Amino acid sequence: MTNDRGVRWPERAYAALLWLYPAPFRRRFATDMRELFVDRCRAERLRSGRRGVARLWWRLMADAVTAAGHEHAADLRERFTSRVATLPNPPRPATGDPMFETMLHDLRYTGRMLRKSPAFTIIAMLVIALGSGAVTTIFSAASALLFRPLPGARDPGRLVDIARTDTDHSRSYITPSYPFYTHLRDESHQLHGVAAWTFIQLTVSTGAQGTTTFGNLVSANYFSVIGVRPALGRFFTPDEDRNPGAHPVVVLSDGFWRGRFNADPAIVGKQVLVNSAPYIVIGVAPPKFSGVFPIVRTDAWVPLTMAPLLQHDATALTDPGAGWLRIIGRLADGVTIPQARSELATIAVAHAAEEPADFREFRGIAISRITGFPADASGAIMAFALLLLVISGMVLVIASVNVAGMLLARATTRRREMALRIALGAGRARLIRQMLTESIVLFVGGAAGGLLIAVFATRLFARIQLPAEVPIRADVAPDYRVLAFALGLALITGVVFGLAPALEATRHDPSVGLRSESAGSGTRRTGLRNALVVGQLAISLLLLMSAGLFVRALNRGQQIPAGFEIAHVATAPIDVSTSGYLEPRARLFFDALKQRLLRAPGVAAVSYARWVPLTGSSMGTRFRIDGRAPAPGDRPDNMVDVSLGVVAPDYFAVMQMPLVRGRGFRDADNATAPMVAVVNEAFARKYWPGRDPIGQTFHDQQNQITVVGVARDAKYFTLNEALQPFVFLNLLQDWAPSANLFVRTTGDAATLAPIIRDAVRDADPLLPSPAVVTMAVATQVGLLPQRIAAAVTGVMGVLGLILAVVGLYGVVSFTVSQRTREIGVRMALGADRATVLRMVLRDGMRLVVIGIVVGLVLAVGATRVMSRFLYGVSPLDPYVFAVIPIGLAAATLIASYLPARRAASTDPLAALRE
């Protein structure tokens, strides 16, 4: 390795350039070539500084294009001739197939042409690189998230996600129970293995303070169904699916093993503490593998049979009413998804009698290919990715149109050359082929640049830390699929956008072309160039308007009244179950932590809840409302689906959520007291219209619950949800050992982080340090799609605008240069500068106006698609529809003003003399 830090970055860039060469050549010489490059780079810098290095790069690009072109051709020729030739390895490659010869000739000629006008070549490739970089980056991310579902798995195409739905296909899902899973596992023949798993937060320690880790509880066949082999040690054995609680073993992820155990090669067989109990490390997973949802980091895997101990729930593996698992399966050879679905549905029906009554209607089975996301979310994610892909595709179109415009302009200057070649006997097809070779080389070169952009951009993505509750690992770097995509795209765009200029350049009658003269030039070409500019302006207007709409949606989202006040609140997940607390001790701990925090400076109120509002996580249940006659369309058992939040006393004070009637929860409403609830206004209105809700009752499976208070309507799960009936239950009466702590301060919420961490450490030094975020940050997750979309469309829109403005500038200056004589005549006849200025500006702005009109029409049609991401902002938002076109017009005015000013300063004498 070279220690010269200044050279490392260029060396990587050069290494990327080397991908142009055929693989055998690369294998043989790449190291030496890089070495040579480093030496050359150093020498050039010493001799002539930056300019020398820039010159060197230019030479290297030309070198790479010609040498790689020759090598590829030689490679092909060798393969071709070795198949037909009887002589082994003639000393010099014989003149082979004429097609290759032509191609070689075209390439050689192209190399010469491109080298002859380096400015044109560099600008064209840069423009394409910007557009292609945009598409390639988005495609790379989309492909990594959507088409690379399970890195490290064998034949992931046959893996399916299995979910339970209700039979009327209203797409409500329930999570399967362990007994349900064992039925599928034992009775299915269409599936070659069925595995179950779930997320679990674990505290892993080796003595000192523990580390909060994100683990999976998995069935013993989990790894074999997915088809993953251990990097170290072993995975689980079938025996570890039996005898609940008898197998304290753990498999570590590669990342966790490296980060926490310094990649200790002797880790297998060592003991660690998982939730304070001794476990034996039996294996390490391969680096690529990160569970069924690869975007979520997984640190460790523990057998499902340990669930009763880890979750402090003795019936976890036996209760058919406890749904907590996710199921995946591998289709047996030749089995289709519908076949598997009908088999599994039969099994589900056969065991329906064992399940609680309210599971009965969930006899439907939904099977879908593994996507790397929960089955119910992947559709929305796919739609979003597609939207971003289309947006970035537009930038590529704008860039390509720009280059087509440049090629078209050059076609004019090359008319003589073409005419001469036609006169000398070249066929038109041959010339078109030559021109297409040139545009394809330009586009492929640009795509290589775009790929580099994508490599860097995706690396930036990976660094972004999302304020999410689960650790996100976004490995979206381009792979071979992205490479093929970029190359294919370059070939297609090279042909599509090279064809018009090629036809244009070769259209001429040789006798006319040879007679030269710049006059005439035909209105058709100008018409085509004008159309290209109009198209660019229209698309960039569309992009900018999309960006404008997303920004409006973001603003709207941030201004939606939540119905409570989060400005001075911070939150932290507290989970004592993973540290070996049983319920009585956990209750004491939660109370002690609250009292400790209340004594801290600035803390105004402290509470807990089982979810963090406005982050998208939701909870719901079924109640039977007492004293209410079933309305038409209700369920026969008179149960209603209700959204639910479980909160501790003082929650309404922490969130400053006003109670319009009755009271909030008190410490006295504990596990032994009668169950109480607070409902929102919408709930009271819907189920007890015209009656006092206080004192009304409803039932869940076991308990009668009495309403003691009514809270003002608010948003609960996301900011863009519709107003819904909502029930608050008391955490003290619906106990869970893991909850989210909420603390309100009189000062800045950001100052709470050390206060909360200190309080947790003082309360129990062995607990992992909690991750504290302000509510303002935590709720940003809800606006994430809008944030990403606004950023992406904003960047793309500005990029598109720059390209379109450059295109417009090119067209207007071109017309000005064509009309120099005419302008000279006008000025000689008495036209003053202002008249000429106005005339040229009018020409440019005519294109702009047409572009804006076309763009507006496009936008009216297209922005409708985005409405689901807009938080109620109208897709025809008048503000966006007024401001953006005016801004665009202003930017383009500058683009036509510059050439217009030049035209106005034409010296009539000089112009006429030309």
Partner 1 sequence: MSRPPDITTLIPLKPVELELLLALAAEERHGYALVQEITAQTDGVVQLEPGNLYRVIKRLLADGLVQESTRRAIDDTDERRRYYRLTALGVRVLNAELSRIRSIMARASVRAFTRRLNPA
By the criterion CB under 8 A, which residues form the site for partner 1? 21, 25, 28-29, 31-33, 35-37, 39-40, 59-60, 62-64, 66-68, 70-71, 89, 91-92
767 with 737: CB under 8 angstroms? no
Nearest approach, Cβ of 23 to partner 1 (angstroms)?
14
Identify the residue whose tokens are 């930017």: 891
Closest alpha carbon to 667 in 725, 747, 587: 587
Within 8 A by CB and 6+ apart from 22, the residues are 68, 71, 72, 75
- Between 67 and 385, name the residue whose CB sits nearer to partner 1: 67
523 with 476: CB under 8 angstroms? no
- Between 44 and 106, name the residue whose CB sits nearer to partner 1: 44
Phi-psi region of 171 (alpha: psi -120 to 50; beta: other; left: phi over 0): left
- Between 68 and 676, name the residue whose CB sits nearer to partner 1: 68
- Between 115 and 833, name the residue whose CB sits nearer to partner 1: 115
- Between 58 and 735, name the residue whose CB sits nearer to partner 1: 58
- Between 40 and 258, name the residue whose CB sits nearer to partner 1: 40
Within 8 A by CB and 6+ apart from 74, the residues are 93
- Give first-to-last CA distance, the chain, whole Å: 60
228 with 216: CB under 8 angstroms? no
Nearest approach, Cβ of 484 to partner 1 (angstroms)?
23
User: In the structure encoding, which two tokens stand for residue 77, read together?
Assistant: 């020729």
- Between 32 and 914, name the residue whose CB sits nearer to partner 1: 32
Nearest approach, Cβ of 9 to partner 1 (angstroms)?
18
Q: Provide φ and ψ at 445, rounded to 5°.
A: -60, -45
- Between 12 and 846, name the residue whose CB sits nearer to partner 1: 12
- Between 46 and 424, name the residue whose CB sits nearer to partner 1: 46
Closest alpha carbon to 130 in 785, 804, 847: 804
Please calculate the CA angle 179-337-192 and round it to the nearest 5 degrees: 55
- Between 41 and 162, name the residue whose CB sits nearer to partner 1: 41
Residue 831: CB atoms within 10 Å = 17
- Between 62 and 766, name the residue whose CB sits nearer to partner 1: 62
Nearest approach, Cβ of 40 to partner 1 (angstroms)?
7
132 with 447: CB under 8 angstroms? yes
- Between 60 and 304, name the residue whose CB sits nearer to partner 1: 60
687 with 640: CB under 8 angstroms? yes
Nearest approach, Cβ of 47 to partner 1 (angstroms)?
11
Write the DSSP symbol of residue 150. Answer: S
Nearest approach, Cβ of 411 to partner 1 (angstroms)?
30
User: In the structure encoding, which two tokens stand for residue 173, read together?
Assistant: 């899902």
Nearest approach, Cβ of 20 to partner 1 (angstroms)?
8
Write the DSSP symbol of residue 157. Answer: G
- Between 114 and 335, name the residue whose CB sits nearer to partner 1: 114
Within 8 A by CB and 6+ apart from 742, the residues are 569, 570, 571, 606, 607, 608, 609, 651, 654, 655, 775
374 with 380: CB under 8 angstroms? no
203 with 305: CB under 8 angstroms? no
Phi-psi region of 830 (alpha: psi -120 to 50; beta: other; left: phi over 0): left
Nearest approach, Cβ of 33 to partner 1 (angstroms)?
4
- Between 41 and 533, name the residue whose CB sits nearer to partner 1: 41
10 Å CB burial of residue 829 (0-12, 13-18, 19+) is exposed
Nearest approach, Cβ of 56 to partner 1 (angstroms)?
8
Nearest approach, Cβ of 36 to partner 1 (angstroms)?
4
Amino acid identity for residue 148 in this structure: R
Nearest approach, Cβ of 808 to partner 1 (angstroms)?
38
Q: How far apart are CA 542 and CA 533, in angstroms?
A: 14
Evaluated on CA atoms 71, 73, 79, 81, the torsion sign reads negative
- Between 39 and 239, name the residue whose CB sits nearer to partner 1: 39
3-state secondary structure of 96: coil
Q: How far apart are CA 76 and CA 73, in angstroms?
A: 5
Nearest approach, Cβ of 107 to partner 1 (angstroms)?
14
Nearest approach, Cβ of 67 to partner 1 (angstroms)?
3
Give CA 599 to chain center in angstroms. Answer: 43
- Between 121 and 780, name the residue whose CB sits nearer to partner 1: 121
Nearest approach, Cβ of 34 to partner 1 (angstroms)?
8
807 with 788: CB under 8 angstroms? no
Nearest approach, Cβ of 21 to partner 1 (angstroms)?
7
Nearest approach, Cβ of 865 to partner 1 (angstroms)?
46
Closest alpha carbon to 676 in 701, 710, 639: 710
Q: How many residues are listed for the chain in this entry? A: 914
Within 8 A by CB and 6+ apart from 568, the residues are 604, 744, 745, 746, 747, 748, 749
Closest alpha carbon to 602 in 751, 759, 747, 755: 747
